[in-house]
Amino acid sequence: MTTTRQFKLSEKEQQDFDRNGFIGPFTLYSPEEMKAIHKKVRASLLNRDYAPYQTALESTIANYDRHLDVSLLSEHVCRAEIVDRLVDILGEDVLCWRSEFIPKPPGAEGTDWHQADTFEHASGQPQLVWPEEEGGGAGGTINVWTAFTEATERTGCLMFVPGTHKQMYYDESKGMEWDPEKNANVLKEGTRRGFNGYDYRALQKDPHWKPDESRAVNMVMKPGEFIVFRSTLLHASKPNSTTDIPRLGYVARYVPGRVKVYPDTDVVKEFGSEISLERYGTVVVSGKNRQPTNRVRNTNLRGEPFKATGVSLQ
């Protein structure tokens, strides 16, 4: 089955993405639509009957993968505006292997500078393994971060250092200590930052290295816009310095169909808690899954099929 991709990246955009490690923002929803969707999604998130992980609600990973049970999010991760562009970056076979809500309530700390490749950083075990002939790692994932609310310099917008995606400054296999009390609101270069109970600096290859913040760009985004970036791009976010404006980002993470997702494990341990992968499956948003060991879901946990664009029927 061939379909025309309406939202292809232009050659210039592909070159920009290769050079900078990110592209966008692009509009997915108008601010009014986003507001309405956010309202519905917020209500759906409270119902955890079909939620993939039955874990303590305050844990970071209780927020993972709600595209597996909230219908509007199941649709969101498959949207042509996103997937058409990803095909130009990842090729025909594309999996959505994870999604996360990243809330920053008023007063919240900024997110530490970081790069992620295998996502071993918090779990102690690589969550993504690329084919051996491609190095087994070093591919990272493509993040599609959607602003559910206004993301400004005051509410906690994302920050990128363009062009840093080709060199890893962190070694994710080093391991870091989860200590939410010690690691919260630590002043780093004058800014309150943390990483959900971790201090990401513990993974630096060179403990004396510092991100060159003078080269950082602020990704100010309107509600309903999304940005596409490599997880190996050096990225962070500003603290929410307002007293009354919450910031909410929703990130969906994608890899090519040949990548092994969560190999050799039935659980994920991260951020001080554990989830079972019993109800988990990666979602084929374009083409096919090429890794027989990957868990795949064709329907969400309510039994609704994922409406992926361009998915091969064979």
Binding site for ligand AKG (CB under 6 A): 102, 111, 143, 145, 158, 235, 237, 249, 251
Whose structure tokens read 């919260």? 184
Of residues 148 and 280, the one with the C-beta less far from ligand AKG: 148
Q: C-beta of 251: minimal distance to ligand AKG in Å?
A: 4
Of residues 153 and 304, the one with the C-beta less far from ligand AKG: 153
Structure tokens that stand for 204 in this block: 């630096």
Q: How far apart are CA 252 and CA 99, in angstroms?
A: 4
Of residues 99 and 294, the one with the C-beta less far from ligand AKG: 99
Q: C-beta of 194: minimal distance to ligand AKG in Å?
A: 11
Structure tokens that stand for 142 in this block: 């493509």
Q: How many CB atoms lie within 10 A of CB 266?
A: 10
Q: C-beta of 115: minimal distance to ligand AKG in Å?
A: 10
Of residues 29 and 148, the one with the C-beta less far from ligand AKG: 148
Q: C-beta of 37: minimal distance to ligand AKG in Å?
A: 18
Whose structure tokens read 């309150």? 192
Q: How many CB atoms lie within 10 A of CB 66?
A: 25
Residue nearest to ligand AKG (CB): 237
Of residues 67 and 235, the one with the C-beta less far from ligand AKG: 235
Instruction: Please give the angle made by the CA atoms of 230, 232 and 238, to the nearest 5 degrees.
Output: 85
Q: 235 and 269 in contact (C-beta within 8 Å)?
A: no
Structure tokens that stand for 313 in this block: 């029927």
Q: C-beta of 205: minimal distance to ligand AKG in Å?
A: 19
Of residues 55 and 143, the one with the C-beta less far from ligand AKG: 143
Beta bridge partners of 247: 104
Q: C-beta of 158: minimal distance to ligand AKG in Å?
A: 6
Q: How many CB atoms lie within 10 A of CB 158?
A: 27
